[in-house]
């Protein structure tokens, strides 16, 4: 979900298709200096003055016929900062963590 029209809110939630460990792997590839772990279900990162805390929570499995996809609820909470900084940080993460398929 991109915030193309309108501001990036200080906090929001997404549902993503991944296990907690897969999410951590992809996040670390996107942002190597991330702190936290899959075991803690929390990740924190800093980009200049802008901070971001990401909490993950397993949300079961989505079934499409015999195909099963693990789901996560992912909560993003930005620290104080300008909306422009939130947008830039989120865009960088989204680009780096984007999967194939469209």
pLDDT at 102: 46
Compute the C-alpha angle 53/16/98, nearest 5°. 85
pLDDT at 13: 95
Instruction: Name the token pair of 91.
Output: 């865009």
pLDDT at 95: 86
pTM of the model: 0.89
pLDDT at 101: 53
| Domains and their CATH numbers in the chain | 11-97 (3.30.1370.80)
| Segments of the chain with pLDDT less than 50 | 102
Phi-psi region of 60 (alpha: psi -120 to 50; beta: other; left: phi over 0): left
HEC string of 38-84?
A: CCCCEEEEEECCEEEEEEEEEEEEEEECCEEEEEEEEEEEECCCCHH
pLDDT at 81: 85
Helix 83-97 vs helix 20-30: crossing angle, to nearest 10:
110
Length reported for the chain: 102
pLDDT at 63: 92
Using a 10 angstrom Cβ sphere, with 0-12 exposed, 13-18 middle and 19 or more buried, the burial of residue 24 is: buried
pLDDT at 15: 94
């Amino acid at each position: 979900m991109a915030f193309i029209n309108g501001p990036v809110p200080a906090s929001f939630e997404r549902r993503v298709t991944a296990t907690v460990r897969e999410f951590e792997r992809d996040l670390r590839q996107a942002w190597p200096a991330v702190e936290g772990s899959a075991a803690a279900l929390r990740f924190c990162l800093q980009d200049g003055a802008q901070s971001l805390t990401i909490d993950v929570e397993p949300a079961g499995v989505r079934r499409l016929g015999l195909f099963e996809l693990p789901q996560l609820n992912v909560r993003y909470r930005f620290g104080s900062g300008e909306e422009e900084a939130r947008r830039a940080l989120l865009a960088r993460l989204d680009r780096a963590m984007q999967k194939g398929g469209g």
